Chain A
Amino acid sequence: MRSKLLALATMLPLSTLWAAEEAAAEAAEAAPTLDVGNTAWVLTATALVMFMTPAGLALFYGGMARSKNLLNTIAMSVMGYIVASIVWVVCGYTLAFGTDISGVIGFDSFFLSGIKVTDLWATGNIPVLLFAAFQMTFAGITVALASGAVIERLKFSTWIVFAALWIIACYAPIAHWVWGGGFLSADGVLDFAGGTVVHINAGVAGLVMALMLGKRSDYGKAMFPSSVTLTVLGASMLWFGWFGFNAGSELGADGIAASAFLVTNTAAAVAAFSWMLVEYVTYKKFTLLGIASGIVAGLVAITPAAGFVDTAGALVIGVVAGIVAFYGVNGLKKALKYDDSLDAFGIHGVAGIWGAIATGIFANPEVNELGTGLLYGNAGQVLVQVEGVVVTIIYTAIVTAVVFKIASILTGGARVSAEAESQGLDEVEHGEKAFNLR
Chain B
Amino acid sequence: MKKIESIIKPFKLEDVKDALAELDITGMTVSEVKGYGRQQGHSELYRGAEYVVDFLPKIKIEVVVVDELVDKVIDVIVKSARTGKIGDGKIFVSNVEKSVRIRTGELDNEAV
Interface residues of A (CB under 8 A from B): 64, 220-225, 228, 279, 282-283, 285, 287, 289-290, 293, 329-330, 334, 343
Contacts and interface: CB of A to CB of B under 8 A. Distances in A.
B46 A225 contact: yes
28 contacts: A64-B46, A221-B51, A222-B51, A222-B52, A222-B53, A223-B49, A223-B51, A224-B44, A224-B46, A224-B51, A225-B46, A228-B46, A279-B48, A282-B48, A283-B48, A283-B50, A285-B45, A287-B45, A287-B46, A289-B46, A289-B47, A290-B47, A329-B47, A329-B48, A330-B47, A330-B48, A334-B48, A343-B47
A293 B45 contact: no
Nearest to A285: B45
A224 B42 CA distance: 13
Ranked nearest first, the 4 interchain pairs of A and B with the lowest CB-CB distance are: A330-B48, A222-B51, A329-B47, A285-B45
A121 B47 CA distance: 43
Contacts of B49: 220, 223
Given A223-B51, A224-B51, A289-B47, 11 more contacts: A221-B51, A222-B51, A222-B52, A223-B49, A282-B48, A283-B50, A285-B45, A287-B46, A287-B47, A289-B46, A343-B47
What is the interface of chain A mostly: helix, strand, loop, or mixed? helix
Contacts of B53: 222
A370 to B, nearest CB: 37
A228 B52 CA distance: 17
Interface of B: 44-53
A182 to B, nearest CB: 36
Contacts, number: 33
B45 A283 contact: yes
Contacts of B50: 283
B56 to A, nearest CB: 14
Contacts of A285: 45
A222 B52 CA distance: 7
A228 B47 CA distance: 11
Contacts of B47: 287, 289-290, 293, 329-330, 343
Nearest to A346: B47
Nearest to B47: A329
B37 to A, nearest CB: 20
A392 to B, nearest CB: 25
A221 B52 CA distance: 9
A282 B50 CA distance: 12
A223 B52 CA distance: 10
A126 B45 CA distance: 48
A351 to B, nearest CB: 14
B12 to A, nearest CB: 22
A44 to B, nearest CB: 33
Nearest to B51: A222
Contacts of B45: 283, 285, 287
Nearest to A326: B48
A287 B46 CA distance: 8
B45 to A, nearest CB: 5
Nearest to B54: A222
A51 B35 CA distance: 42
A330 B48 CA distance: 6
A289 B46 CA distance: 7
A14 B46 CA distance: 78
Contacts of A283: 45, 48, 50
Contacts of B44: 224
Contacts of A287: 45-47
Contacts of A343: 47
A21 B48 CA distance: 69
Nearest to A225: B46
Contacts of B51: 221-224
Nearest to A342: B47
B2 to A, nearest CB: 32
Point out which of B44, B48, B51 has the most chain A C-beta atoms below 10 A from its C-beta: B48
Contacts of A293: 47
A64 B51 CA distance: 14
B10 to A, nearest CB: 16
A223 B45 CA distance: 11
Nearest to B49: A223
A293 B51 CA distance: 19
Nearest to A220: B49
A222 B53 CA distance: 8
A207 to B, nearest CB: 16
Contacts of A329: 47-48
A66 to B, nearest CB: 11
A173 B45 CA distance: 40
Nearest to A343: B47
B74 to A, nearest CB: 33
A224 B44 CA distance: 9
A287 B45 CA distance: 8
